[in-house]
Every structure is written in structure tokens, then in C-alpha cells.
Structure 1
Amino acid sequence: CGDTLFCAGCGRLFEGTPEQMHTSLNKLAELPADTLVFAAHEYTQADLVFAHAADPENDDVTYALSECEKARALNRPTLPSTIGRELKINP
């Protein structure tokens, strides 16, 4: 997924257009739910904080943020994710 899809977030537009990014994200969303997502950077915690602010009623985001905070406190990675998980937690 390179710098297109992150756990609970997406990449910034350094090249291309917003439409191209949207098309790329939609293509990724069509993959099977169990497809592993190996994001290029460990931005999960910051992205989940944003996702929780954007969608505070989403129980999947609340749970993911709690689990992420536990993992990061132990210096453990939060990756990989899956397409199915991203469809639930990624705004």
C-alpha cells in the first residue's frame, strides 16, 4: 500500500491529485477483507486519535485506539492491519 493507506489513515498528496488518491483508496477497499495491510510508517496511534475525534461513536475505533496504546506502551508494532479492519476504523 506504500504511502497510500495507513492503519486508520491515508497518505498525504505529494504527487497526483485528490481524485487519483480517492481512486487508489477505493481499489484497496475492494480487496478481500483478510488482505494484510503493511503500511510504510507507524502512524497508527496518531491516526486513531484523529479517527476517534472524527467518529467518537465508532466502537471499533475506540477499541483499536485502546489496543494501539497498549501495544505502543510496550514498544510493539501495531502493523499489519487488514482491509476489513480498515473498513471499520479508517475514516
Structure 2
Amino acid sequence: MIQHRTFRIHGRVQGVFFRQSARRRAHELGLHGYARNNDDGSVTIEAEGPAEALQALETWCHHGPPAARVDRVSVQAGEVQGYASFDVQH
């Protein structure tokens, strides 16, 4: 069953390849959605797929790529949007 999650990641998460790394991890997990930078310095990831894959992405979000420093991750369930791929938004 496909589920939807929105992750908001706070810390040093911009300028450290967080979005590109999230896309790579999402592809490995078979998830669809997007990652984007926010004006407040955080990153938002919306992802859809099986619950186990979403849990694996959430676990990854707590550390991110090597140069990142994650202070906090919030997670919210939502309505499935039907994304066809996983994109990095600018």
C-alpha cells in the first residue's frame, strides 16, 4: 500500500548535497516525490511508497550525507499525490 510522508529536515542541510543525496536514496528505495530547499535553511522531502521504504528514508534523514548536520526531523503523513519520479526542486 502506497503512503505519503512529508519530512522537514533542520540543521546544516543546504549546500551539502542533501537534496541530491536524498534523491539517490529515494531511488534505491523505490520512492517517488521531491526534495527542495526552504527559505529558512531547512529541506523538505515529500515521498511516496511502501511504509517500510518511507521508514528507511526517515532513518536516513536523521543523518543525511556526510557533510550535513541534522538537528531535527519532523514527519507528517499526508494524502498520496501520485508522483511518477523523484525530483530535486530548485
TM (normalized to structure 1)? Answer: 0.31
More helix by share: 1
Structure number with greater CO (CA < 8 Å, separation at least 6) is 2
Pick the structure with greater CA Rg.
Answer: 1
More strand by share: 2
